[in-house]
Structure formats: C-alpha cells, structure tokens
Amino acid sequence: MTTQAVKLKLRQTQLLNQKQQQSLRVLHMSSQELAEEVESWLEDNPLLERAETGDADSGQPEIHYSAAVPITRKISSGEESDLWATVADEADFRRLLHEQVCEHPLDREEAARVHLLIDYLDDQGYLKESLEEIVEHSPLEWMLDEADLAAALQQLQRFDPPGTGARDLAESLLLQLARREPCETVFCAVKLVQGYLNDVGKITLAPQVRKQHPQYSTATIEAAQALVSSLNPFPAYGYAAAGHTEYIEPDVWIRPDEETGEWKTGAYRQAWPQVRLNREYCELLGECGGSAPELKQKLAEAKTLLLSLEQRKSTVLRLADIILEKQADFFQFGAIGLVPMTIKDTAQELGLAESTVSRAVNQKYLACPQGVFPLRYFFSQAAVYADEEDEQGVSAGAVKAVMESLFASENKAKPLSDQAIADRLALQGMTLARRTVAKYREEMNFPPAHQRKRKQP
C-alpha cells in the first residue's frame, strides 16, 4: 500500500502586470536592440510615428549638473571618434552563447542562470566575478545561490568556443585540453598547465619536468609545450572583430562645462528613439468615439510603449547621475579614483528594485573624457581595505590602476615579481595576497616578470 505525503512550501514571488513587464523588457535592451524594437512598433501600430528632428517634444534630455569638479583634459572631435576603439564588441560573442542555451538539455531555471552568467563574462570570455559576488549583486527575488550557479557554470563551460566561462587562464586552457582526444601528449600538457604554466615557453623546460614526471619523454614534453602554446588564451578572440563595434553608440555622457567646470550628465539623442503619437489618427479616434475598439486598443498599447521609453531614459540618466556622484574621483584622476559601488546599494539609494538597476546597466555605455565605458564598469565590491576604520575600501579598478603605474615605471631589466608588487601595494595601504596580485595581473594582460624582462643592449 502506498502512502501519499503532502508538503507545503512557502515561497514569496512578485507578479508583474503587462505594463511593468514591457517596461522592464525595454530597460534591459541595448540601444541597438531598442532601435530594432521601435521599428517593429512603428510597423505594427499606426498610432505611433517617428518624431521629426527639431520637434519640441523630441529634444535633448534635460542636462543635469553636479558638484563642481576641475576639468582634467578636453577631447577634440578627432579624439572623440577614436574613443570607439576602447569599446569591445560584446554583442556577437554573447549572442553566440545565448543562442547555444537552447541546444543543451536545460530546464527553464537552469537556462536562466546560464543566461545570467553569459552576461557577466568579460570581453575575453572569462568569468572574473566570483559566484559569491554575482549572488550579492543579483536581486533577492531571483533567489540565487552559489551551488546552483556553480552547476550553471559547468554547463556554460561546455559551450563553444572552448575555454569560455573560465575563471583564469589555467582553467581556460584545461577546458580546451579536455576537448582533445586523450593521449600522452594531452596528459602531459595538462601537467604543464597545472604546474609549469609560467614556464611553458622556455626551451629548457623539458629537463625540469622530467625530474618530476619521468614517465614523459623529452619529445612528449616538447610536443605538449607546442600544444599548450597553440591553445587560445582568450576564448572570445576572433568574435569581437565581427564588425559591429563602430555602430555601438554610448547612451549617456558625462563631461565638464568648459566655462564653469561643473560636471554634467546627458543622453545622446541617437541612442534614444524619438517617437510620438500620430496626431491625425488620435483626432480621428476622438471623432469615432466608441465605434473603433481596435484603434482604442492600439492607442493604449502606444501609450504603454511610450511610457516604457520614458522610464528607460529616466532610469539610465539617474544612474549616470549617481555614477558621477559616487565616482567623482574617477572623472578627475582616472581608474585609480574608482571606489566600490554595488548594484544593491545603488538600488536602495535610487529607491528601485535591484533587478531594475541590473537591467539598466545591461549593455549601456557612458562616454566621458577618459573614454567609453559600459555602465557595469563602475560597479564593483571592495577588493581591499586600507585599515580597520576604512568602511568604503578600495575597488579592484583602483588597485589595477596602481599596478599599471608600477609596470610602467619598473626596471625592464629587472621587472617586479608578483610578491614585489604586493609589497609595493602594501606600502600604499593595499594589502593583497600574492595570488590576488597574479590574478589582477593576468586580467590586465601583463605577463609574469620573467616574460617582461628585457636584456640590456
């Protein structure tokens, strides 16, 4: 005889009406995706039309002024066009990954977590954010945990190109080797990546490896060295140059007023589709009264779409304002002035849901005198605290900026080791482990000290 058990599970969910869902969907879009979406609106809804240039209701967004910050440098028109070189084309690589999700046996929740991780990949195809940080930055209503994200990451690492979703270079190379036919050379290559990665390029590596692994011949070790050297260190390379970068346009800008020195924020007109209600059709609808229910429905839809556009603009501009307020030192001193800034804290300050802020920073770009940056660039947790009384901490971006200055000024004949860099950082109140320094160095694409060494003439 079988028994049936009834289990009750209490779960809090948030139900969104159609208008809210439409607004959030529009907020999540990039400017390119929004432009394509608006085109479909114009084709489908006769009550919408494109606003003509110069119309009073389609002008530039209001400029917002913040506290005065000294002007660091000006950008000429020629320099401004060169800034696009600083923006990586993230669309093609990520689109390729998003399209692969449906090719794997994932349920709806697993697929959603994989989609989330794809959006966190950097322009090289690495997942630099820890799973703990992703959970911290994600809205509470998503109810994420590290175990589920770890399982989703394992799924993502099976996607093409091989090595995608790795946390560092070694893991990326191991993921690529796992796709190879098992053989002695591959097994040896795995050993090289695990224990001799920094020395793979050395001609004298074989004797060193044979002492620890005598089962491998010199010929096998050299073949393994060649195999590791042939692997792709950056999974996203080859996809970023798909030809769309020049079409990516920033959504908002931050720049100083040349006369007052006050910094101000604004939106680029071309990034915000200019649409409005068609007055003739609206007047016709008024004359028809209740005899045109289809037009009434189209009018309601048109108003909902226009409202979602306005809310998107307002939210992104508010984000630009708070970025200017919190990251004022960045706009004066560059990356060394970055401070920790989380989506959670920003959402609380703006009075918005974390999911709303997360959508707002997705594929949105900000132009400033330092270059063009994704909005997500300005959000990070503290990498290190200067002392016990330091409540804010120092961001990873600021640490990397100091490291970059150390690399630039080091003696090329005797470059700084990771431990030496850690010691220099400690003198400036940034106490980091050597492994953390090595991790940041790899993220900045700087090779280890022995590879940076140059012989004096």
The pLDDT tens digits for 305-353 are 888 899 999 999 999 999 999 888 888 877 777 888 888 888 889 898 8
Residue 76 lies in a domain: no
Interacting residues of 250 by C-beta distance below 8 A, sequence separation 6+: 268, 271, 365, 366, 367, 372
Residue 145 lies in a domain: yes
pLDDT of amino acid 249:
76
Range 393-427 burial, b when 16+ CB lie within 10 A, else e: bbbbbbbbbbbbebbeebeeeebbebebbbebbee
Residue where a domain stops, chosen among 189, 214, 238: 238
Q: Which one-letter amino acid corresponds to residue 191? A: K
**CA–CA gap between residue 420 and residue 201 (Å, rounded):** 23
Confidence of residue 90 (pLDDT cuts 50, 70, 90): very low
> What's the rounded mean pLDDT across residues 4-25?
59
pLDDT of amino acid 79:
38
First to last CA, the chain: 89
Phi, psi angles (nearest 5°) of residue 265: -120, 155
Residue where a domain stops, chosen among 215, 238, 261: 238
Do 111 and 216 reside in the same domain of the chain?
Answer: no
Do 273 and 372 reside in the same domain of the chain?
Answer: yes
**pLDDT of 387 over the 60 cut:** no
pLDDT of amino acid 238:
64
Residue 81 lies in a domain: no
Higher pLDDT pick, 198 / 185: 185
Do 158 and 197 reside in the same domain of the chain?
Answer: no
Do 144 and 175 reside in the same domain of the chain?
Answer: no
Do 132 and 180 reside in the same domain of the chain?
Answer: no
> What's the rounded mean pLDDT across residues 125-148?
80
Do 252 and 361 reside in the same domain of the chain?
Answer: yes
* Dihedral of alpha carbons 191, 194, 197, 199, sign: negative
Do 162 and 234 reside in the same domain of the chain?
Answer: no
Residue where a domain stops, chosen among 132, 167, 202: 167
Strands 275-277 and 365-368: unpaired
Higher pLDDT pick, 129 / 76: 129
Q: What is the CATH number of the domain that holds 445?
A: 1.10.10
Residue 60 lies in a domain: no
**pLDDT of 112 over the 50 cut:** yes
Supply the range of the domain harboring residue 222.
Answer: 168-238
Do 186 and 252 reside in the same domain of the chain?
Answer: no
**CA–CA gap between residue 177 and residue 194 (Å, rounded):** 12
What is the separation of C-alpha 114 from the centre of its chain, rounded to a whole number of angstroms?
15
Residue 72 lies in a domain: no
Do 175 and 208 reside in the same domain of the chain?
Answer: yes
**CA–CA gap between residue 267 and residue 425 (Å, rounded):** 38
pLDDT of amino acid 390:
47
Do 254 and 362 reside in the same domain of the chain?
Answer: yes
**pLDDT of 198 over the 60 cut:** yes
Do 103 and 30 reside in the same domain of the chain?
Answer: no
Residue 390 lies in a domain: no
Model pTM?
A: 0.52
* Of 202-216, 312-326, 357-371, 394-408, highest mean pLDDT: 312-326
Residue 4 lies in a domain: no
The number of distinct structural domains making up the chain is 4
Do 180 and 258 reside in the same domain of the chain?
Answer: no
Number of Cβ within a 10 Å radius of residue 373: 20
Residue 402 lies in a domain: yes
The pLDDT tens digits for 151-180 are 999 999 999 889 999 998 889 999 999 998
pLDDT of amino acid 88:
39
